Structure 1
Amino acid sequence: MANQLNLSIDRSSPVPLYHQVVQGIESAIHTGLLPPGSRLDNEIDLAAQLNLSRPTMRKAMDELVRSGLLVRKRGVGTQVVSSQVRRPLELSSLFDDLSNNGAKPTTDVLTFSHDEADDATREALNLPQGATVYHFTRLRKVAGKPLALMENWVRDDITPLTEELLGSQGLYSVLRNAGVNFRLATQRIGAVVANEYQATQLDAAPGSALVTMERTAVDDTGRNVETGHHVYRADSYSFEMTLVQR
Protein backbone atom coordinates (compact mmCIF):
# COMPACT_ATOMS: atom_id res chain seq x y z
CA MET A 1 0.00 0.00 0.00
CA ALA A 2 2.76 2.49 0.90
CA ASN A 3 4.55 1.78 -2.38
CA GLN A 4 1.29 2.06 -4.33
CA LEU A 5 0.74 5.50 -2.79
CA ASN A 6 4.29 6.59 -3.60
CA LEU A 7 4.91 7.49 0.03
CA SER A 8 8.51 8.39 0.68
CA ILE A 9 10.20 9.34 3.92
CA ASP A 10 13.01 11.90 4.03
CA ARG A 11 14.91 11.34 7.24
CA SER A 12 17.01 14.45 6.64
CA SER A 13 13.91 16.65 6.57
CA PRO A 14 12.99 18.80 9.60
CA VAL A 15 9.38 17.62 9.12
CA PRO A 16 8.63 14.89 11.70
CA LEU A 17 8.42 11.41 10.24
CA TYR A 18 4.82 10.84 11.33
CA HIS A 19 3.77 14.13 9.71
CA GLN A 20 5.40 13.12 6.43
CA VAL A 21 3.16 10.05 6.47
CA VAL A 22 0.13 12.25 7.25
CA GLN A 23 0.97 14.58 4.34
CA GLY A 24 1.46 11.67 1.95
CA ILE A 25 -1.85 9.99 2.78
CA GLU A 26 -3.71 13.33 2.79
CA SER A 27 -2.37 14.00 -0.71
CA ALA A 28 -3.44 10.54 -1.89
CA ILE A 29 -6.97 11.13 -0.57
CA HIS A 30 -7.34 14.63 -2.03
CA THR A 31 -6.02 13.61 -5.46
CA GLY A 32 -8.31 10.57 -5.64
CA LEU A 33 -5.53 7.99 -5.47
CA LEU A 34 -7.26 6.81 -2.30
CA PRO A 35 -10.99 7.12 -3.06
CA PRO A 36 -13.66 7.03 -0.32
CA GLY A 37 -14.04 3.56 1.14
CA SER A 38 -10.48 2.47 0.34
CA ARG A 39 -8.93 0.17 2.93
CA LEU A 40 -5.41 0.75 4.18
CA ASP A 41 -2.96 -1.90 5.27
CA ASN A 42 -2.65 -2.34 9.00
CA GLU A 43 -0.20 -0.18 10.91
CA ILE A 44 2.36 -2.95 11.36
CA ASP A 45 2.55 -3.62 7.61
CA LEU A 46 2.66 0.08 6.75
CA ALA A 47 5.40 0.68 9.28
CA ALA A 48 7.44 -2.18 7.83
CA GLN A 49 6.98 -0.93 4.27
CA LEU A 50 8.22 2.53 5.22
CA ASN A 51 10.87 1.30 7.66
CA LEU A 52 9.25 3.22 10.50
CA SER A 53 8.48 2.26 14.07
CA ARG A 54 4.98 1.19 14.91
CA PRO A 55 4.46 4.11 17.37
CA THR A 56 5.38 6.57 14.61
CA MET A 57 2.91 4.98 12.22
CA ARG A 58 0.20 4.85 14.88
CA LYS A 59 0.70 8.55 15.61
CA ALA A 60 0.24 9.35 11.91
CA MET A 61 -2.89 7.23 11.64
CA ASP A 62 -4.33 8.73 14.83
CA GLU A 63 -3.82 12.20 13.35
CA LEU A 64 -5.64 11.23 10.14
CA VAL A 65 -8.53 9.73 12.12
CA ARG A 66 -8.83 12.88 14.26
CA SER A 67 -8.88 15.04 11.13
CA GLY A 68 -11.82 13.02 9.77
CA LEU A 69 -10.02 11.56 6.75
CA LEU A 70 -9.80 7.99 8.03
CA VAL A 71 -12.04 5.86 10.18
CA ARG A 72 -11.29 2.65 12.08
CA LYS A 73 -13.97 -0.03 11.86
CA ARG A 74 -13.91 -3.20 13.91
CA GLY A 75 -13.64 -6.24 11.69
CA VAL A 76 -12.93 -4.10 8.63
CA GLY A 77 -9.79 -2.10 9.38
CA THR A 78 -8.90 1.48 8.52
CA GLN A 79 -10.78 3.11 5.67
CA VAL A 80 -10.94 6.44 3.89
CA VAL A 81 -14.17 8.15 4.91
CA SER A 82 -16.77 9.20 2.38
CA SER A 83 -16.14 12.62 0.90
CA GLN A 84 -18.11 15.29 2.76
CA VAL A 85 -20.22 18.18 1.62
CA ARG A 86 -18.73 21.15 3.47
CA ARG A 87 -21.23 23.95 3.80
CA PRO A 88 -20.31 27.48 4.87
CA LEU A 89 -22.34 29.00 7.66
CA GLU A 90 -24.22 31.68 5.77
CA LEU A 91 -27.80 32.44 4.83
CA SER A 92 -28.13 30.13 1.86
CA SER A 93 -29.94 26.91 0.99
CA LEU A 94 -28.46 23.46 0.68
CA PHE A 95 -29.75 23.22 -2.89
CA ASP A 96 -27.96 26.45 -3.85
CA ASP A 97 -24.73 25.48 -2.09
CA LEU A 98 -24.61 22.11 -3.81
CA SER A 99 -25.43 23.58 -7.22
CA ASN A 100 -22.82 26.34 -6.83
CA ASN A 101 -20.19 23.69 -6.05
CA GLY A 102 -20.94 21.78 -9.26
CA ALA A 103 -23.15 19.06 -7.77
CA LYS A 104 -26.52 18.18 -9.24
CA PRO A 105 -28.85 17.71 -6.27
CA THR A 106 -32.20 15.98 -6.59
CA THR A 107 -35.18 16.20 -4.27
CA ASP A 108 -37.86 13.70 -3.28
CA VAL A 109 -40.91 15.37 -1.70
CA LEU A 110 -41.98 12.84 0.93
CA THR A 111 -44.92 14.73 2.46
CA PHE A 112 -46.77 17.93 1.56
CA SER A 113 -49.74 19.68 3.17
CA HIS A 114 -51.37 23.08 3.53
CA ASP A 115 -52.91 23.21 6.98
CA GLU A 116 -53.54 25.38 10.00
CA ALA A 117 -50.30 26.09 11.85
CA ASP A 118 -49.80 24.48 15.24
CA ASP A 119 -48.76 26.54 18.25
CA ALA A 120 -45.02 25.97 17.79
CA THR A 121 -45.13 26.98 14.13
CA ARG A 122 -47.24 30.08 14.81
CA GLU A 123 -44.73 31.16 17.44
CA ALA A 124 -41.75 30.51 15.19
CA LEU A 125 -43.27 32.41 12.25
CA ASN A 126 -45.04 35.03 14.37
CA LEU A 127 -48.45 34.21 12.88
CA PRO A 128 -51.95 34.88 14.26
CA GLN A 129 -54.34 32.24 15.53
CA GLY A 130 -55.90 30.29 12.66
CA ALA A 131 -53.13 31.07 10.14
CA THR A 132 -52.29 28.35 7.63
CA VAL A 133 -48.85 27.29 6.41
CA TYR A 134 -47.22 24.93 3.96
CA HIS A 135 -45.67 21.94 5.72
CA PHE A 136 -43.49 19.48 3.83
CA THR A 137 -40.67 16.99 4.18
CA ARG A 138 -38.03 16.51 1.51
CA LEU A 139 -35.14 14.10 0.96
CA ARG A 140 -32.16 15.76 -0.71
CA LYS A 141 -29.76 13.52 -2.66
CA VAL A 142 -26.44 13.98 -4.43
CA ALA A 143 -25.42 11.48 -7.11
CA GLY A 144 -28.36 9.35 -5.98
CA LYS A 145 -27.07 9.16 -2.40
CA PRO A 146 -29.30 10.51 0.40
CA LEU A 147 -27.69 13.46 2.17
CA ALA A 148 -30.36 15.40 4.07
CA LEU A 149 -33.87 14.88 5.44
CA MET A 150 -35.55 18.29 5.68
CA GLU A 151 -38.84 19.30 7.30
CA ASN A 152 -40.04 22.87 6.73
CA TRP A 153 -42.98 25.14 7.53
CA VAL A 154 -43.48 28.19 5.26
CA ARG A 155 -46.01 31.00 5.59
CA ASP A 156 -48.54 30.89 2.76
CA ASP A 157 -48.98 34.62 2.09
CA ILE A 158 -45.87 34.87 -0.12
CA THR A 159 -46.34 32.53 -3.07
CA PRO A 160 -48.18 29.27 -3.85
CA LEU A 161 -46.07 26.17 -3.27
CA THR A 162 -46.58 22.76 -4.85
CA GLU A 163 -44.92 19.38 -4.59
CA GLU A 164 -43.77 19.67 -8.20
CA LEU A 165 -42.12 23.04 -7.57
CA LEU A 166 -40.33 21.85 -4.44
CA GLY A 167 -39.17 18.72 -6.23
CA SER A 168 -37.46 20.70 -8.98
CA GLN A 169 -36.05 23.76 -7.18
CA GLY A 170 -34.55 24.75 -3.85
CA LEU A 171 -36.93 26.38 -1.37
CA TYR A 172 -34.91 29.60 -1.08
CA SER A 173 -34.74 29.90 -4.86
CA VAL A 174 -38.53 29.63 -5.06
CA LEU A 175 -38.98 32.26 -2.36
CA ARG A 176 -36.40 34.63 -3.84
CA ASN A 177 -38.14 34.37 -7.21
CA ALA A 178 -41.33 35.41 -5.39
CA GLY A 179 -39.63 38.57 -4.16
CA VAL A 180 -38.29 37.50 -0.76
CA ASN A 181 -35.04 39.21 0.19
CA PHE A 182 -33.59 37.16 3.04
CA ARG A 183 -31.96 39.28 5.71
CA LEU A 184 -31.02 37.08 8.66
CA ALA A 185 -31.76 33.82 10.40
CA THR A 186 -31.52 32.23 13.80
CA GLN A 187 -29.87 28.83 13.54
CA ARG A 188 -28.93 26.01 15.87
CA ILE A 189 -26.60 23.14 14.93
CA GLY A 190 -26.40 19.93 16.90
CA ALA A 191 -26.22 16.16 16.65
CA VAL A 192 -28.50 13.18 17.21
CA VAL A 193 -28.42 9.46 16.61
CA ALA A 194 -30.60 8.23 13.76
CA ASN A 195 -33.98 6.74 14.62
CA GLU A 196 -35.55 4.05 12.44
CA TYR A 197 -37.33 6.49 10.12
CA GLN A 198 -34.32 8.75 9.64
CA ALA A 199 -32.02 5.78 9.10
CA THR A 200 -34.31 4.31 6.47
CA GLN A 201 -34.64 7.57 4.54
CA LEU A 202 -30.93 8.43 4.73
CA ASP A 203 -29.74 4.88 4.01
CA ALA A 204 -27.86 4.88 7.31
CA ALA A 205 -27.63 2.47 10.20
CA PRO A 206 -30.04 3.07 13.11
CA GLY A 207 -28.09 4.77 15.87
CA SER A 208 -25.54 6.32 13.51
CA ALA A 209 -24.59 9.96 13.97
CA LEU A 210 -26.54 12.73 12.24
CA VAL A 211 -25.88 16.46 12.09
CA THR A 212 -28.94 18.57 12.92
CA MET A 213 -29.85 22.11 11.94
CA GLU A 214 -32.82 24.19 13.06
CA ARG A 215 -33.37 27.53 11.33
CA THR A 216 -35.90 30.34 11.14
CA ALA A 217 -35.27 32.83 8.33
CA VAL A 218 -36.33 36.49 8.28
CA ASP A 219 -36.67 38.78 5.27
CA ASP A 220 -35.84 42.48 4.94
CA THR A 221 -39.38 43.49 5.92
CA GLY A 222 -39.07 41.67 9.25
CA ARG A 223 -41.29 38.70 8.34
CA ASN A 224 -40.38 35.30 9.68
CA VAL A 225 -40.61 33.52 6.33
CA GLU A 226 -39.86 29.88 7.04
CA THR A 227 -38.71 27.57 9.78
CA GLY A 228 -37.20 24.13 9.44
CA HIS A 229 -35.65 21.12 11.13
CA HIS A 230 -33.05 19.28 9.04
CA VAL A 231 -30.86 16.24 9.64
CA TYR A 232 -27.78 15.29 7.61
CA ARG A 233 -25.59 12.21 7.36
CA ALA A 234 -22.58 13.02 9.53
CA ASP A 235 -20.25 10.96 7.34
CA SER A 236 -21.13 13.09 4.32
CA TYR A 237 -21.83 16.55 5.65
CA SER A 238 -20.27 19.26 7.80
CA PHE A 239 -20.58 22.99 8.44
CA GLU A 240 -17.62 25.35 8.07
CA MET A 241 -17.32 28.60 9.97
CA THR A 242 -14.86 31.40 10.48
CA LEU A 243 -14.37 32.65 14.05
CA VAL A 244 -13.19 36.16 14.86
CA GLN A 245 -11.90 37.73 18.06
CA ARG A 246 -14.09 40.47 19.53
Structure 2
Amino acid sequence: MTSENPTRAGARRLRADRARQVADVLRRQVLSDAFKDGPLPHEDRLAEEFAASRNTVREALDLLRGEGLVRRVPGSGTLVVADKVPHGLNRLQGLAETLHEHGDVANEVRAFGPVRAPGPVARRFGLPEGADVVYVERLRRLNGLPLSLDLTYLAPDIGAELSAEDLATQDIFRLIEEVTGRPLGRADITLEAVNADPHSAAVLEVPRGSALLMLERLTSLVDGRPVDLEYVRFRGDRITMQGRLLRDLT
Protein backbone atom coordinates (compact mmCIF):
# COMPACT_ATOMS: atom_id res chain seq x y z
CA MET A 1 0.00 0.00 0.00
CA THR A 2 1.47 3.33 -1.06
CA SER A 3 0.85 6.58 0.75
CA GLU A 4 -0.43 9.62 -1.10
CA ASN A 5 2.02 12.28 -2.12
CA PRO A 6 1.69 14.92 0.64
CA THR A 7 2.22 17.75 -1.83
CA ARG A 8 -0.62 16.52 -4.04
CA ALA A 9 -2.88 15.94 -1.04
CA GLY A 10 -2.13 19.44 0.25
CA ALA A 11 -2.98 20.94 -3.13
CA ARG A 12 -6.32 19.12 -3.15
CA ARG A 13 -7.14 20.37 0.35
CA LEU A 14 -6.22 23.90 -0.69
CA ARG A 15 -8.48 23.69 -3.75
CA ALA A 16 -11.33 22.31 -1.62
CA ASP A 17 -10.91 25.17 0.86
CA ARG A 18 -10.91 27.68 -1.99
CA ALA A 19 -13.98 26.03 -3.54
CA ARG A 20 -15.89 26.53 -0.29
CA GLN A 21 -14.92 30.19 -0.28
CA VAL A 22 -16.18 30.63 -3.84
CA ALA A 23 -19.39 28.70 -3.05
CA ASP A 24 -20.09 30.91 -0.01
CA VAL A 25 -20.03 34.07 -2.13
CA LEU A 26 -22.01 32.54 -4.99
CA ARG A 27 -24.60 31.13 -2.57
CA ARG A 28 -25.54 34.61 -1.39
CA GLN A 29 -25.86 35.81 -4.99
CA VAL A 30 -28.03 32.83 -5.87
CA LEU A 31 -30.33 33.41 -2.89
CA SER A 32 -30.57 37.16 -3.55
CA ASP A 33 -31.81 36.62 -7.13
CA ALA A 34 -28.66 38.02 -8.72
CA PHE A 35 -29.02 35.42 -11.50
CA LYS A 36 -32.82 35.30 -11.77
CA ASP A 37 -32.79 36.51 -15.39
CA GLY A 38 -30.36 33.94 -16.75
CA PRO A 39 -27.66 31.38 -16.04
CA LEU A 40 -24.67 31.92 -13.82
CA PRO A 41 -21.63 33.33 -15.63
CA HIS A 42 -19.48 30.82 -17.54
CA GLU A 43 -16.87 28.94 -15.53
CA ASP A 44 -14.09 30.93 -17.24
CA ARG A 45 -15.71 34.19 -16.18
CA LEU A 46 -16.16 33.00 -12.62
CA ALA A 47 -12.57 31.75 -12.50
CA GLU A 48 -11.39 35.20 -13.55
CA GLU A 49 -13.68 37.01 -11.12
CA PHE A 50 -12.59 34.90 -8.16
CA ALA A 51 -8.95 34.56 -9.27
CA ALA A 52 -9.38 30.80 -9.05
CA SER A 53 -8.81 27.83 -11.34
CA ARG A 54 -11.64 26.34 -13.39
CA ASN A 55 -11.38 23.15 -11.32
CA THR A 56 -11.95 25.19 -8.18
CA VAL A 57 -14.99 26.88 -9.72
CA ARG A 58 -16.37 23.50 -10.80
CA GLU A 59 -16.01 22.17 -7.27
CA ALA A 60 -17.79 25.26 -5.92
CA LEU A 61 -20.67 24.74 -8.36
CA ASP A 62 -20.79 21.07 -7.36
CA LEU A 63 -21.26 22.17 -3.75
CA LEU A 64 -24.19 24.38 -4.74
CA ARG A 65 -25.68 21.60 -6.85
CA GLY A 66 -25.43 19.27 -3.88
CA GLU A 67 -27.45 21.79 -1.86
CA GLY A 68 -30.14 21.87 -4.53
CA LEU A 69 -29.54 25.54 -5.34
CA VAL A 70 -28.41 25.22 -8.97
CA ARG A 71 -28.39 22.63 -11.73
CA ARG A 72 -26.43 22.13 -14.91
CA VAL A 73 -28.51 22.28 -18.11
CA PRO A 74 -26.72 21.18 -21.29
CA GLY A 75 -26.71 24.04 -23.76
CA SER A 76 -27.95 26.55 -21.19
CA GLY A 77 -25.31 26.56 -18.49
CA THR A 78 -25.80 26.54 -14.73
CA LEU A 79 -29.28 27.70 -13.71
CA VAL A 80 -30.70 28.67 -10.34
CA VAL A 81 -33.34 26.26 -9.06
CA ALA A 82 -33.42 27.35 -5.41
CA ASP A 83 -36.78 28.21 -3.94
CA LYS A 84 -35.69 29.73 -0.64
CA VAL A 85 -37.42 32.72 0.86
CA PRO A 86 -35.87 35.27 3.21
CA HIS A 87 -36.98 35.49 6.84
CA GLY A 88 -36.05 38.88 8.26
CA LEU A 89 -34.54 39.15 11.73
CA ASN A 90 -34.56 42.95 11.90
CA ARG A 91 -38.09 43.33 13.25
CA LEU A 92 -40.43 41.45 15.54
CA GLN A 93 -43.01 40.06 13.13
CA GLY A 94 -45.11 36.96 12.62
CA LEU A 95 -44.32 34.62 9.76
CA ALA A 96 -47.19 35.85 7.55
CA GLU A 97 -46.07 39.45 8.11
CA THR A 98 -42.49 38.56 7.22
CA LEU A 99 -43.27 36.53 4.11
CA HIS A 100 -46.38 38.23 2.74
CA GLU A 101 -44.50 39.34 -0.39
CA HIS A 102 -43.57 35.76 -1.23
CA GLY A 103 -46.97 34.12 -1.30
CA ASP A 104 -49.73 32.77 0.88
CA VAL A 105 -48.88 31.58 4.39
CA ALA A 106 -51.41 29.08 5.75
CA ASN A 107 -51.56 27.49 9.20
CA GLU A 108 -52.66 23.95 9.91
CA VAL A 109 -53.51 23.88 13.63
CA ARG A 110 -52.50 20.42 14.84
CA ALA A 111 -53.01 20.98 18.56
CA PHE A 112 -54.48 23.65 20.83
CA GLY A 113 -55.28 23.51 24.51
CA PRO A 114 -54.09 23.87 28.10
CA VAL A 115 -51.14 21.78 29.30
CA ARG A 116 -49.11 21.72 32.47
CA ALA A 117 -46.10 23.91 31.84
CA PRO A 118 -42.73 22.12 31.97
CA GLY A 119 -40.62 23.64 34.73
CA PRO A 120 -38.32 25.65 32.41
CA VAL A 121 -41.33 27.01 30.50
CA ALA A 122 -43.12 28.08 33.70
CA ARG A 123 -39.99 29.86 34.91
CA ARG A 124 -39.58 31.78 31.67
CA PHE A 125 -43.17 33.01 31.97
CA GLY A 126 -42.69 33.84 35.64
CA LEU A 127 -45.38 31.31 36.61
CA PRO A 128 -45.40 28.99 39.63
CA GLU A 129 -44.37 25.36 39.19
CA GLY A 130 -47.24 23.23 37.94
CA ALA A 131 -49.13 26.15 36.37
CA ASP A 132 -50.99 25.61 33.13
CA VAL A 133 -50.14 27.31 29.85
CA VAL A 134 -51.79 26.98 26.45
CA TYR A 135 -49.97 24.84 23.91
CA VAL A 136 -50.36 25.39 20.16
CA GLU A 137 -48.81 23.28 17.41
CA ARG A 138 -49.06 24.56 13.84
CA LEU A 139 -47.73 23.44 10.49
CA ARG A 140 -47.00 26.53 8.44
CA ARG A 141 -47.18 26.31 4.65
CA LEU A 142 -45.98 28.81 2.06
CA ASN A 143 -47.82 28.51 -1.25
CA GLY A 144 -48.99 25.07 -0.18
CA LEU A 145 -45.54 23.67 0.65
CA PRO A 146 -44.47 22.78 4.22
CA LEU A 147 -42.20 25.49 5.59
CA SER A 148 -42.13 25.25 9.39
CA LEU A 149 -43.44 23.39 12.41
CA ASP A 150 -44.24 25.79 15.25
CA LEU A 151 -44.56 24.61 18.85
CA THR A 152 -45.87 27.51 20.93
CA TYR A 153 -46.58 28.03 24.63
CA LEU A 154 -48.85 30.95 25.49
CA ALA A 155 -49.48 32.66 28.83
CA PRO A 156 -52.68 31.04 30.18
CA ASP A 157 -54.94 34.12 30.13
CA ILE A 158 -53.90 35.06 26.61
CA GLY A 159 -54.20 31.50 25.36
CA ALA A 160 -57.75 31.36 26.72
CA GLU A 161 -58.61 34.54 24.83
CA LEU A 162 -57.32 33.02 21.59
CA SER A 163 -59.36 29.83 21.89
CA ALA A 164 -62.20 31.33 19.86
CA GLU A 165 -59.94 32.91 17.22
CA ASP A 166 -59.17 31.55 13.75
CA LEU A 167 -55.54 30.52 14.09
CA ALA A 168 -55.56 28.95 10.64
CA THR A 169 -55.60 32.33 8.89
CA GLN A 170 -54.22 34.78 11.44
CA ASP A 171 -50.83 35.38 13.03
CA ILE A 172 -50.71 34.86 16.78
CA PHE A 173 -48.66 38.04 17.23
CA ARG A 174 -51.44 40.24 15.85
CA LEU A 175 -54.03 38.41 17.93
CA ILE A 176 -52.01 38.87 21.12
CA GLU A 177 -51.86 42.61 20.51
CA GLU A 178 -55.61 42.72 19.84
CA VAL A 179 -56.69 40.80 22.96
CA THR A 180 -54.26 42.58 25.30
CA GLY A 181 -54.64 46.03 23.79
CA ARG A 182 -50.87 46.44 24.03
CA PRO A 183 -48.11 46.11 21.45
CA LEU A 184 -45.41 43.50 21.56
CA GLY A 185 -42.12 44.96 22.67
CA ARG A 186 -39.22 42.58 22.17
CA ALA A 187 -38.16 38.99 21.64
CA ASP A 188 -35.13 37.05 22.81
CA ILE A 189 -34.10 34.59 20.11
CA THR A 190 -31.74 31.68 19.62
CA LEU A 191 -31.15 30.18 16.18
CA GLU A 192 -29.46 26.81 15.76
CA ALA A 193 -29.39 23.72 13.57
CA VAL A 194 -31.15 20.59 14.81
CA ASN A 195 -31.78 17.17 13.29
CA ALA A 196 -35.30 16.32 12.18
CA ASP A 197 -36.85 13.90 14.66
CA PRO A 198 -39.35 11.35 13.28
CA HIS A 199 -42.37 13.57 14.05
CA SER A 200 -40.89 16.74 12.56
CA ALA A 201 -39.59 14.85 9.52
CA ALA A 202 -43.02 13.38 8.77
CA VAL A 203 -44.84 16.69 9.15
CA LEU A 204 -42.31 18.74 7.18
CA GLU A 205 -41.87 16.00 4.57
CA VAL A 206 -38.10 15.67 4.91
CA PRO A 207 -35.90 12.63 5.60
CA ARG A 208 -35.25 11.78 9.26
CA GLY A 209 -32.09 13.38 10.50
CA SER A 210 -32.24 16.24 7.98
CA ALA A 211 -30.84 19.53 9.21
CA LEU A 212 -33.53 21.99 10.26
CA LEU A 213 -33.18 25.59 11.39
CA MET A 214 -34.74 25.97 14.82
CA LEU A 215 -35.69 29.39 16.13
CA GLU A 216 -36.41 29.66 19.85
CA ARG A 217 -38.18 32.92 20.57
CA LEU A 218 -39.51 34.32 23.84
CA THR A 219 -41.72 37.30 23.04
CA SER A 220 -42.79 39.93 25.56
CA LEU A 221 -45.26 42.78 25.58
CA VAL A 222 -43.98 46.34 25.58
CA ASP A 223 -44.22 46.36 29.40
CA GLY A 224 -41.80 43.40 29.55
CA ARG A 225 -44.31 40.66 30.35
CA PRO A 226 -43.42 37.39 28.51
CA VAL A 227 -46.46 36.02 26.68
CA ASP A 228 -45.30 33.71 23.88
CA LEU A 229 -42.55 31.06 23.83
CA GLU A 230 -42.00 29.40 20.46
CA TYR A 231 -39.86 26.61 19.10
CA VAL A 232 -40.04 26.96 15.31
CA ARG A 233 -38.43 24.33 13.09
CA PHE A 234 -37.85 25.58 9.55
CA ARG A 235 -36.99 23.54 6.49
CA GLY A 236 -33.48 24.75 5.73
CA ASP A 237 -33.93 24.14 2.02
CA ARG A 238 -36.82 26.60 1.82
CA ILE A 239 -35.79 29.55 3.97
CA THR A 240 -32.79 31.74 4.66
CA MET A 241 -32.39 34.06 7.66
CA GLN A 242 -31.42 37.67 7.00
CA GLY A 243 -30.82 40.62 9.27
CA ARG A 244 -28.78 43.74 9.92
CA LEU A 245 -26.71 44.18 13.06
CA LEU A 246 -25.55 47.59 14.28
CA ARG A 247 -22.52 47.91 16.51
CA ASP A 248 -23.09 49.96 19.64
CA LEU A 249 -19.86 51.83 20.30
CA THR A 250 -21.12 53.68 23.36
Instruction: Give me the TM-score of the superposition, normalised by structure 1.
Output: 0.71
What is residue 8 of structure 1 aligned with on the other side?
Answer: none
The answer to whether the aligner puts 1:165 opposite 2:166 as a matched pair is yes
RMSD: 3.2
- Taking the TM superposition and a 5 Å limit, the aligned residue runs for 1:140-155 are 140-155=140-155
**Counterparts of 2:209 and 2:81, CA distance in 1:** 18
CA displacement 1:60-79 (0-9 Å, x = unmatched): 4455577xxx32279x9757
Matched residues in 1 for 2:62 and 2:222: separation? Answer: 43
| Structure 2 unaligned blocks of 5 or more | 1-21, 73-78
Aligned to 2:235: 233
Task: Specify every segment of 5 or more residues in structure 1 that has no aligned partner in the other structure, as ranges.
Answer: 1-17, 35-39, 41-45
Partner of 1:85: 85
Structure (1 or 2) with the greater helix fraction: 2
Residues 59 and 195 (structure 1), Cα distance of their counterparts in 2 relative to 1, 3 Å cut: same
Aligned partners of 1:169, 1:72: CA distance in 2, in Å?
36
Equivalent residues in 2 for 1:71-82 (5 A)?
71-72=65-66, 80-82=80-82
**Residue 162 of structure 2 corresponds to residue 156 of structure 1:** no
Secondary structure, in 3 states, of the residue corresponding to 1:176? helix
More displaced, 81-90 or 187-196?
81-90
- Distance change (3 Å), C-alpha of 1:177 and 1:120: same
Runs of 4+ in 1 over 3 A off after TM superposition: 25-29, 55-66, 76-81
* Equivalence for 1:30: 36
Deviates more, 1:80-89 or 1:159-168: 159-168
- TM-superposed CA distance for 1:91, in Å, is 1.2
1:199 matched residue in structure 2: 201
Give aligned pairs, total. 205
Q: Deviations over 1:160-209 (max 9, x none)?
A: 12386211211111112222311111110000121221111111122221
> Once the two structures are aligned, what percentage of the paired residues are identical?
25
What does the per-residue CA deviation read over 1:124-170, in whole Å, with 9 as the maximum and x for residues that have no partner? 11113453221011000011110000000001223512386211211
Question: After superposition, what is the alpha-carbon deviation per residue over 1:90-121, rounded to whole angstroms, capped at 9, x for unaligned?
Answer: 2111121112x242101111112213323122
Amino acid at match of 1:199: A
